[in-house]
Amino acid sequence: MNSLLTSAQPQSEPCETIDAICPKHGGYTATVTTFHVTDRPTVITSPCQKCVAERRAEEAAKKREQEAAERRYKVRTLRESSRIPARFADSAFANYSAKEPGQKMAAGVCKAFADSWPEKEKGGGSLVLTGSPGTGKTHLACAIGNTVMDEYLADVLFCTMAVMLRHIKNTYRRDSEKSEQQAINDLVRPGLLILDEVGVQIGSEHEKLLMFEVLNARYQDLSPTILISNLDGAELEDFLGHRIMDRYRECGSVLAFDWQSYRGRA
């Protein structure tokens, strides 16, 4: 069988070298190889090595440009589907004003979370940001979301507690195309969920049960979550329940934004 394969392959004569001229680069040494595929031999002269190098460089540059364009499209798509509010679309660590020690510490923890996203994604790392309105909680949470989308192409979803509950309860309509479980899955699926305004409304026991299902499912699936609340730590634990709060302490940090609001300051 090997002899048949060998006989079917093109036969070539030993290469020889000649002096050749490239219209662009001038003289070069070429190799000439004669192949006997049919009755008429085929003679191939090697091209200019500089032309070959330039062509390969151009092809590599085009490939890099195409990959960069595809990446920019992916980031743009992720940004659009993240539902991060327009007010926080440009939130970054670089444009967060950290003057007080507590602000600098909070910014450092949040940046470390974003920078170590592969580990956080694998281990289900989470954050709980608590404190008064206007202290920068949502800015830093969205800075994390923007960073992990830009740097790691992570799938991020931002929503308030009210929007989350409305998304689930909309399935109770007779004309709903989704089941309650499918709506819950929509909230469990994203790589990072940023849940804002946790505790704004006390809500019914049923709403608390829905909230527990989402947060517990993400905890079980090792899916990173950031909770943002205007309640302090004790009030938030009372709202979420000890089990949820304890689990989110286990897989992340609880940051207290206990400085005054900077909204409206000159």
- pLDDT (average), residues 90-98: 94
pLDDT grade for 59, boundaries at 50, 70 and 90? very high
Angle between helices 180-188 and 161-169 (to 10 degrees): 150
pLDDT digits (tens, 9 = 90+) for 137-157: 999 999 999 999 999 999 999
Tell me how far apart the alpha carbons of residues 37 and 15 are, in angstroms, rounded to a whole number: 16
The CA-to-CA distance between both ends of the chain, in Å, stands at 86
Res 262: pLDDT: 60
Fold of 84-257: Rossmann fold (3.40.50)
Q: Which pLDDT value is given to residue 2?
A: 46
Residue type at position 206: H
Q: What share of the chain is helix, strand, coil (3-state, %, to 5)?
A: 50, 20, 30
Tally: H helices and E strands in the chain: 10, 9
Listed in order, the ranges of the chain carrying CATH 3.40.50.300 are: 84-257
